[in-house]
Structure 1
Amino acid sequence: MQSSKLHTRLMGSDFELIATGATEAIANRRLEQGVAEIKRIESLLTVFSDTSVTAQLNAQAGGTPLSVPAEVYQLLLRCNKISTITQGAFDITASVLKKLFNFKYDHFTWPDDNAITQAMACTGFQHIALLDHYCVQLKRAGMHIDFGAIGKGYAADRVKALWIADGATSGVVNASGDLTAWGTQPDGGPWKVGIAHPDDPQQISLWLPVNNASVATSGNYEQYVERNGIRYSHNIDPRKGWPVPYIKSVTVVSPSAELSDALATAITVMGPEVGLNLVNQLPEVYCIIIDGQNKIVQSDNIQIHAKA
Structure 2
Amino acid sequence: MMVAPLTEHRKQARLMGSAFEFVTVTEASDPEDHIGTAIAEVRRMEALLTEFSDTSQTAQLNRAAGIHAVEVDPEVYAILHRSREIARLTQGAFDITAGVLKKLYDFRNKPATLPSRAAIDAALQRVGWDKIVLTAPGQVYLSMPGMHVGFGAIGKGYAADKVKNVLQQKGIRSGVINASGDLTAWGTRPDGTPWKVGIADPNAPDRVIAWIPVHQASVATSGNYEQYFELNGVRYSHNIDPKTGLPVQGIKSATVVSPSAELSDALATAITVMGPSVGVHFINQLPNTHCLIIDDQNRLHTSRHLSITLNSAT
1:26 pairs, out of 27, 32, 50, with 32
Are 2:19 and 1:14 aligned?
yes
- Aligned-residue CA RMSD in angstroms? 1.1
- AA in 1 matched with 2:192: G
Instruction: Please say if residues 194 and 205 of structure 1, whose CA atoms lie closer than 8 Å, have aligned partners that are also in contact.
Output: yes
Instruction: Please say if residues 250 and 276 of structure 2, whose CA atoms lie closer than 8 Å, have aligned partners that are also in contact.
Output: no
State TM-score, norm by structure 2.
Answer: 0.95
CA deviations 1:112-132 (Å, max 9, x no partner) are 111111111111111000121
Question: Which residue does 2:46 correspond to in 1?
Answer: 42
Instruction: Please say if residues 4 and 24 of structure 1, whose CA atoms lie closer than 8 Å, have aligned partners that are also in contact.
Output: no
CA deviations 1:281-307 (Å, max 9, x no partner) are 111000000000000010000000343
Question: Could you tell me how far apart the structure 2 residues matched to 1:85 and 1:24 are?
Answer: 44
Equivalent residue of 2:67, what SS?
Answer: coil
Question: Which residue does 2:3 correspond to in 1?
Answer: none
State TM-score, norm by structure 1.
Answer: 0.97
Instruction: Please say if residues 102 and 234 of structure 1, whose CA atoms lie closer than 8 Å, have aligned partners that are also in contact.
Output: no
Instruction: Please say if residues 206 and 305 of structure 1, whose CA atoms lie closer than 8 Å, have aligned partners that are also in contact.
Output: yes
Question: Which residue does 2:207 correspond to in 1?
Answer: 203
Are 2:79 and 1:75 aligned?
yes
Whose helix fraction is larger, Structure 1's or Structure 2's? 1
Aligned length: 306
Query: After superposition, where does 1:279-298 map in structure 2 within 5 Å?
Result: 279-298=283-302
Query: After superposition, where does 1:89-238 map in structure 2 within 5 Å?
Result: 89-106=93-110, 108-238=112-242
2:62 pairs, out of 50, 55, 58, with 58
Moved beyond 4 Å, runs of 4+: none
Identical aligned residues as a percent: 55
Are 2:267 and 1:263 aligned?
yes
Instruction: Please say if residues 129 and 136 of structure 1, whose CA atoms lie closer than 8 Å, have aligned partners that are also in contact.
Output: yes
Give ranges in structure 2 of 5+ residues lacking alignment: 1-5
Equivalent residue of 2:238, what SS?
Answer: strand
Cα drift, residue 164 of structure 1: 1.0
Instruction: Please say if residues 222 and 255 of structure 2, whose CA atoms lie closer than 8 Å, have aligned partners that are also in contact.
Output: yes
Give ranges in structure 1 of 5+ residues lacking alignment: none
Cα drift, residue 268 of structure 1: 0.1
- AA in 1 matched with 2:173: T
Cα drift, residue 107 of structure 1: 5.3
Question: Which residue does 2:10 correspond to in 1?
Answer: 5
